[in-house]
Structure 1
Amino acid sequence: MRPIYIVVLLLALSFSAATAQSSLSIPQIMQGQDFTGYWPSSPWWSEDGKTIYFDWNPDKNPSDSLYKYVVGSNGPVKVTPKERRALPPRRGTYNEAMTKKLYEKGGDVFVLDLKSGAATQITNTIERESDAYFGPDEKTIQFTSDNNLLSWDISSGVITQLTNFKEGSAKKPKKLSEQDEWLKNDQLGLSKIVKQRHEEDELEKEIRKADQPGRPMEIYLEGKSVSGIQMSPDGKIISYVLFKSADNTHNTMVPEFVAESGYTEAINTRTKVGSDLSKREVWMFTPATGKVMQVKTNDLPGIKDKPDFYADYPKLDTMKAFEREVFSFGPFWSDDGSKAIMVYRSVDNKDRWITLLNPEDGSNTLLDRQRDEAWVGGPGVGWSMYSPGDIGWLPDNKRIWFQSEETGFSHLYLLDVESKSKKALTAGKHEVYDVSLSKDKKSWYFSSNEGDFGQRHFYKLPLEGGKALKITSQVGSNDVTLSPDEKNLAMLYSTANKPWELFLMPNKPGATMKKITSSTTPEFEAYNWRTPEFTTFTARDGTEVPARLYKPANPTPNGAAVVFVHGAGYLQNAHKWWSSYYREYMFHNFLVDNGYTVLDIDYRASAGYGRDWRTAIYRFMGGWDLSDNVDGAKFLVEKHSVGKDKIGVYGGSYGGFITLMALFTEPDVFAAGAGLRSVTDWAHYNHGYTSNILNTPVLDSIAYRKSSPIYYAENLKKPLLIAHGMVDTNVHFQDVVRLSQRLIELGKKDWEMALYPVENHGFVEASSWADEYRRIFELFEKNLKK
């Protein structure tokens, strides 16, 4: 037995020596912002443009505090609770002259005079009033209360109810039979007294109606809920949205074992992909005539088109034409109220229509149709059927602007609703983000990754197009909030190895950036954080795949390496700004200190690289996204002297899914893997995300069978760590429970599961983070450094 003890001792000493090679420790870096420092977020300007407000927590309070920086002062100061309560919210609506602002606070409506700074409270009720805006000719202020639209007359102060929505169904008068109708008329003809009383009753009804002029017509909701109530700018039409909740018999339940009550509590969460969906309809009401009608959707071109994937299923492909369900958005009115557009998204999210609405009959004239056999999406377009995307009118009341991936990348377009002519204002192999019109309506502002997918810069573009003016220039990402007069930028800026800080900069190219905050801790600053090497490698189909590479100063030949797989699928991480995976970034520095090479890949499906990159995983998750990571491992072996049998893989959420697919379908590529909060079977994930990529399990079982790791578990032969929060309401704990049962039945031995009883999808407790990443490191130390 003595030799065994010696081996165990040597292994222990070897592990201890490895961990000692870094000045960092896993418990330290897994403290998150308690270690790095709390960076600022959510900046917004005071209405006079003299003060920047932002959330910040340099004191490490239980939650962020509100801070302010007065332009020209020495530095930021904390806003007192009294001052914070007196501040108007950052969001609101303005009148045409931009002299007044409407906002909701505490469930009541206020109007702020921007010149004097005086606020007038319009409502003071127990009910919540919201969605306030200036009515026709700015003589009224309209708002929603108790699911009805009300109007406050600015001059008289009178509040008028404009709609009268009622729960349930209208009680229709009982229709008399032909026999009963004859008997009634005969009696009225025989008796003068009976006829007189009948006429008096009818007259009294007319008098009561005349004594209550202007009462809005009752509209019954028929079991639906109402929202989005708005009046057209000319005051003639009121539109509203009716929402019918899906009647699903099964919602998923997540048990909470460590609950405050001491009992196991049930958390009701989402349904699974393919469950019945809620319905969203847009209706219009004309008060002058009492006309109520639904905006039509059956006249949309291609509404009966069958998706291409039906060809794989003969019963679907040969069935008769059908009409797809849609989500309706709008109407979006021109400023003068003369025109309105609608946006429609098919429930299968393969179509988005922009139409000109005919308010007389609710019909549509097509302006733009974006069709995608995978799914419609991209920056400014929206990920799913639940979003209309960014869209608006130009001041001429003839043209609209919107974003589309028509060319393969999301760009800004103008479209004349009369001539139907369309013009691209931006173009090229890059994305455009966060488009807005300047205050004078003569220019556009937006962010873009033009010239470098790994950076985001702020641009200004003439209204009719032309050459965009690049305003920011520092390497990294620039998240800009314009001052009200558009003379200054409040900017959150970061680089790959420096967290976000708040800067102030004049709205001019090349202007000096003034740093407002200093957030990082002395402990964080004591370490020399690496800037990863931004590189690409060639995938098997010839595509250049972006990645971040971390290498030891003197890498060991035939050394160990780790491939990190970011989560979310549609997310970018191989960029030049501070990562949302900042704990992983610090862990990668720790790994490099301990001799590992680390590769962080923006595989196919990642954000920032256009439509074809985004949809490359359609009907096969675990296809191109996985092969990019496998090709990344090959790149490490061929170009960076990494041992072929010394590569590990790990990731969380979508990254956990790819880790499982890697170990189950490419069992000879990776020596070990850690799947964190992993999807194991896509038929058990949510609808909004999954149906875009894989359609639904009933309609496209082939896609789900190809894409779900649980079906490939028999191929596991390398060590696997499964880690999951037990109160995960996103990727449910049930996912890994089902997989574990499958592994048990298959007789698999080299796997283990770490459970976290109080953690949701995104871990919160530092102790949980530290335990999880200790296990990941130990897995790699044991299996990659043999």
Structure 2
Amino acid sequence: MYLLKNIGTLVFAVFFATIAIAQEKKKVTLEDVFKSNTFSSESVYGINWMNDGQFYSSLKRSAAGPSVVKINVATGQQEAVLIDGQKIGVNFSSYSFNADESKALVVSDIERIYRRSSKGVNHVVDLETGEAQLLVKGEKIMYATLSPDNDKVAYVKDNNLFVIELATDKITQITHDGKWNEVINGAADWVYEEEFSMSKAFDWSPDGKKLAFIRFDETDVPEFNMQTWGELYPKDYKFKYPKAGEKNADVSIHVYDFASQKTVKMDAGTETDIYLPRIYWTGSSNTLAFLRMNRLQNQLDLFYANTATGESNLVLQEKSDTYVDLDYNDNLFFLKDNKGFIRTSEQDGFKHIYHHDNSGKLIRQVTSGDWEVTNMVGVDEKGKKIYFISTEASPLERNLYVINMDGKGKKLLTPAKGTHAVNMSKDFKYYIGYHSDANTPSKVTLNQASGKEIQVLEDNQELRDRLRSFALSKKEFFQFEAVEGTSLNAYMIKPADFDESKKYPVLMYVYGGPGSQNVTNSWGGTRDFWHHHLAAEGYIVVCVDNRGTGARGRDFKHSTYANLGKIEVEDQIAGAKYLGTLPFVDKGRIGIWGWSYGGYMSSLSLMIGNDVFKSAIAVAPVTTWRYYDTIYTERYLQTPQLNAAGYDDNSPITHVNKLKGNLLLIHGTGDDNVHFQNAVDLVDALVKADKQFDSFYYPNRNHGISGGNTSWHLYNMMTDFIKNKL
């Protein structure tokens, strides 16, 4: 009896201790997420591998100022301070070395323009003497780049291309016709920057004696006008923005020769309504390679051009019944001694690596299978190996592999589940690895090329310890069958005190655009922890990657072609209906929210799925694709002139009469990407349809709707809406 009595006492003691421990766990609050940055993670920034593979440099920040330090790979110890911001009197935020690492270029006072463009004050630092040379008398310039011969720096200012000689400070103006909203030399226009992921549009030849650049004539491109608020009389900000079906900039490629002081135009054909999104030096200063795409982006051509004459010849061509995705053809590596080039393409249905000879003839397809190469890390010509990141393990995972150039000997180097990214040394002996999974913050390590870990550079241990004090549930991945038996990937975040006997409201989170992916086994950011806050308030948060999203092959991604919105919304509705069958879900309280393409999806889902969704939040949504830019929109929908139905049939504006639930529409008036015009026209249509809704605008905020107190205000408002309307 005594033994049994004490066992019972022990059981009750353990039970109440467990409850006490659970009660000690803190709920995730909005203040934690947006005020105190409780869940912000650390990383290792500004790492550049040095020519001697035994060292890498890293940007460090301290109260005294920034510095660039040299790290010994073998010991993991700092060997030297290469640039001391305090000593040179420059509070720089980025740096780059020239080819032989005798000089560095540091940039300070950076002023952001659009998503990828910026200008700043530039200094060239002599790494031997430590002296810093101020460029252009401290004027803010764009994309300053050291020449391979160490003598010069090229840059863009006032839409023109310039070169400064370091020894004399002599400035040579390469172009003279640059003018705001008319001609740009050496820098991308708005739509190339946003949709072709480029900002700098010039490149030095390997010997530093020539400069290739792209010229944009946007004179006839229609202007978009954004008013900026805050003064007695609001100001107009006008910039060139080609909306779907409208005139694009006329683009051309040129090469300036310093010896002859002449500029030669490269022959890109007689058709002018084209895109020229990439230029590459092939290894020779006499040959420039470039890509050309037609307006509908269903044909991609690779050309070689003679830089002395401008004559060009077609090397490779790829066509598609839908579109050729530049992102899937953007890994182009030219081998030495005219041994051809390595590239990626999804021409066989999945993005893979291909080896071509110098004439463009296919030597072999290096990788194959029902999985995708998401990034070609590097080509080790000496070792005849290619390093790449792929989804072979799972569409939700990213792992590093190595394969011989003959397509044999493929080996997995990062077996740990989750998402891996790498920064590889120039001699392919080492790499910096970044690894996380959905429930574990990023870990940064120094590794041998074999994958063996040498040193932990950042493990986010403080954050890991901090997380233990919070009541957090793990992100759970699952699949379900949607329309026509298609299996879709999804994740779920439940309340930490989840009780399967209860019924919970659900908030679905969506982006859903072509080639995107939200459902990955990787560490999330601020938005994820807002979802954890909602879970702490008693909501289940779910995310579904609909058809059209990435990492599952060309057919899955291209299934939305010419009809954006239709099957994506069908899949989100199917997801909500599936959730409604679960015993712990209150099917009468399912909401959906999204940002940008996700805002388009959430508003359209609420209208078309009015019997499924109770509420929706649409942040900065596209409400008609007629208002979005040429490159992105026409890639997936063709032009409005060719496919009017594709633009109108699935516009939220078309479906306002179907609105039954609660809609919160949010937009920034200074959004240069998805214009505030989208929200205005949707509001007008809703008013005409006599539909009640909530809306909020943020003055002068861009597409990210951030800065100062903005994020706190935004997510506070969205949280209140969810509590009141869901």
* Deviation, structure 1 residue 241: 3.4
Gaps of 5+ in 1: 1-19, 169-222, 300-322, 382-388
The 2-side partners of 1:123 and 1:583 are apart by 38
Q: Residue 679 of structure 2 aligns to a residue in which SS?
A: helix
Within-5 A mapping of 1:60-99: 70=71, 72=75, 81-82=85-86, 90-94=95-99, 99=100
* Deviation, structure 1 residue 768: 4.0
Partner of 1:423: 364
Q: Residue 589 of structure 1 aligns to a residue in which SS?
A: helix
The 2-side partners of 1:54 and 1:467 are apart by 36
Any conservation in 1 of the 2:352–2:368 contact (CA below 8 Å)? yes
The 1-side partners of 2:256 and 2:77 are apart by 56
For residues 375-405 of structure 1, give each alpha carbon's deviation from its aligned partner in whole angstroms, at most 9, with x where no partner exists: 3216452xxxxxxx23231123131121111
* Deviation, structure 1 residue 574: 0.6
Q: Does 1:44 align with 2:41?
A: no
The 2-side partners of 1:30 and 1:152 are apart by 49
> Residues 767 and 328 from structure 1, CA distance in 2 versus in 1: closer, same or farther, beyond 3 angstroms?
closer
The 1-side partners of 2:708 and 2:38 are apart by 10
The 2-side partners of 1:644 and 1:285 are apart by 65
* Deviation, structure 1 residue 423: 1.7
Q: Does 1:476 align with 2:414?
A: no
> Residues 548 and 231 from structure 1, CA distance in 2 versus in 1: closer, same or farther, beyond 3 angstroms?
closer
Bigger Rg, structure 1 or 2? 1
Q: Does 1:489 align with 2:492?
A: no
* Deviation, structure 1 residue 278: 1.1
The 2-side partners of 1:256 and 1:76 are apart by 50
> Residues 723 and 159 from structure 1, CA distance in 2 versus in 1: closer, same or farther, beyond 3 angstroms?
closer
For residues 479-523 of structure 1, give each alpha carbon's deviation from its aligned partner in whole angstroms, at most 9, with x where no partner exists: 222345544332332221233343333332353662535352875
Q: Does 1:499 align with 2:441?
A: yes
> Residues 438 and 142 from structure 1, CA distance in 2 versus in 1: closer, same or farther, beyond 3 angstroms?
farther
The 2-side partners of 1:343 and 1:442 are apart by 26
* Deviation, structure 1 residue 476: 1.9
For residues 228-282 of structure 1, give each alpha carbon's deviation from its aligned partner in whole angstroms, at most 9, with x where no partner exists: 66676689987553331232453231x333x3x4653444455233332112112
Any conservation in 1 of the 2:512–2:568 contact (CA below 8 Å)? no
Partner of 2:234: 264
Of residues 544, 555, 574 in structure 1, which corresponds to 2:500?
555
Q: Does 1:31 align with 2:3?
A: no
For residues 587-609 of structure 1, give each alpha carbon's deviation from its aligned partner in whole angstroms, at most 9, with x where no partner exists: 33233334433221112232333
> Residues 515 and 132 from structure 1, CA distance in 2 versus in 1: closer, same or farther, beyond 3 angstroms?
closer
The 1-side partners of 2:79 and 2:585 are apart by 48
* Deviation, structure 1 residue 441: 6.1
For residues 48-94 of structure 1, give each alpha carbon's deviation from its aligned partner in whole angstroms, at most 9, with x where no partner exists: 6545525679x9x9xx9768695546899999642686899653452
Q: Residue 34 of structure 2 aligns to a residue in which SS?
A: coil
Q: Residue 518 of structure 2 aligns to a residue in which SS?
A: coil
Partner of 1:516: 458
The amino acid that maps onto 2:300 is R
Q: Provide the alpha-carbon RMSD of the alignment.
A: 4.2
Q: Does 1:243 align with 2:185?
A: no
Within-5 A mapping of 1:594-673: 594-639=537-582, 641-673=584-616
Q: Residue 696 of structure 2 aligns to a residue in which SS?
A: strand
Of residues 730, 734, 747 in structure 1, which corresponds to 2:690?
747
The amino acid that maps onto 1:693 is Y
Any conservation in 2 of the 1:370–1:404 contact (CA below 8 Å)? no
Q: Residue 361 of structure 2 aligns to a residue in which SS?
A: coil
Any conservation in 2 of the 1:248–1:275 contact (CA below 8 Å)? yes
Any conservation in 1 of the 2:291–2:302 contact (CA below 8 Å)? yes
The amino acid that maps onto 2:463 is T
Partner of 1:327: 275
Q: Residue 37 of structure 2 aligns to a residue in which SS?
A: helix
Matched pairs, number: 658
Partner of 1:201: none
The 1-side partners of 2:457 and 2:263 are apart by 56
TM-score, normalising length from structure 1? Answer: 0.73
Q: Does 1:354 align with 2:302?
A: yes
* Deviation, structure 1 residue 687: 2.8
For residues 300-352 of structure 1, give each alpha carbon's deviation from its aligned partner in whole angstroms, at most 9, with x where no partner exists: xxxxxxxxxxxxxxxxxxxxxxx562233676444355755332122332211
> Residues 410 and 513 from structure 1, CA distance in 2 versus in 1: closer, same or farther, beyond 3 angstroms?
farther
For residues 115-152 of structure 1, give each alpha carbon's deviation from its aligned partner in whole angstroms, at most 9, with x where no partner exists: xx5679899654879443336xxxx8565378678797
Of residues 267, 271, 274 in structure 2, which corresponds to 1:296?
267
Q: Residue 660 of structure 1 aligns to a residue in which SS?
A: helix
Of residues 700, 706, 721 in structure 2, which corresponds to 1:764?
706
Any conservation in 2 of the 1:21–1:593 contact (CA below 8 Å)? no
Any conservation in 1 of the 2:445–2:454 contact (CA below 8 Å)? no
Partner of 1:733: 676
Partner of 1:412: 353
Partner of 2:639: 696
The 2-side partners of 1:430 and 1:727 are apart by 40
The 1-side partners of 2:105 and 2:555 are apart by 42
For residues 23-53 of structure 1, give each alpha carbon's deviation from its aligned partner in whole angstroms, at most 9, with x where no partner exists: 4354224417722134225340463654552
Q: Residue 702 of structure 1 aligns to a residue in which SS?
A: helix
Whose strand fraction is larger, Structure 1's or Structure 2's? 2
For residues 511-549 of structure 1, give each alpha carbon's deviation from its aligned partner in whole angstroms, at most 9, with x where no partner exists: 366253535287554214332111211121222111112
Partner of 1:571: 516
Of residues 221, 245, 248 in structure 2, which corresponds to 1:277?
248
Q: Does 1:369 align with 2:369?
A: no
For residues 693-724 of structure 1, give each alpha carbon's deviation from its aligned partner in whole angstroms, at most 9, with x where no partner exists: 22333443221112311111011111222223
Q: Does 1:677 align with 2:620?
A: yes
Any conservation in 2 of the 1:66–1:84 contact (CA below 8 Å)? no
For residues 540-583 of structure 1, give each alpha carbon's deviation from its aligned partner in whole angstroms, at most 9, with x where no partner exists: 1222111112235323455422221137654321111112xx33
The amino acid that maps onto 2:214 is V
Any conservation in 1 of the 2:216–2:249 contact (CA below 8 Å)? yes
> Residues 67 and 640 from structure 1, CA distance in 2 versus in 1: closer, same or farther, beyond 3 angstroms?
farther
The 2-side partners of 1:535 and 1:641 are apart by 16
Any conservation in 2 of the 1:493–1:502 contact (CA below 8 Å)? yes
The 2-side partners of 1:270 and 1:291 are apart by 29
Any conservation in 1 of the 2:287–2:304 contact (CA below 8 Å)? yes
Q: Residue 697 of structure 2 aligns to a residue in which SS?
A: strand
Partner of 1:132: 146
Within-5 A mapping of 1:570-589: 570-579=515-524, 582-589=525-532
Q: Residue 414 of structure 1 aligns to a residue in which SS?
A: strand
TM-score, normalising length from structure 2? Answer: 0.78
> Residues 32 and 429 from structure 1, CA distance in 2 versus in 1: closer, same or farther, beyond 3 angstroms?
farther
* Deviation, structure 1 residue 362: 4.5
Any conservation in 1 of the 2:435–2:444 contact (CA below 8 Å)? yes
> Residues 159 and 458 from structure 1, CA distance in 2 versus in 1: closer, same or farther, beyond 3 angstroms?
same
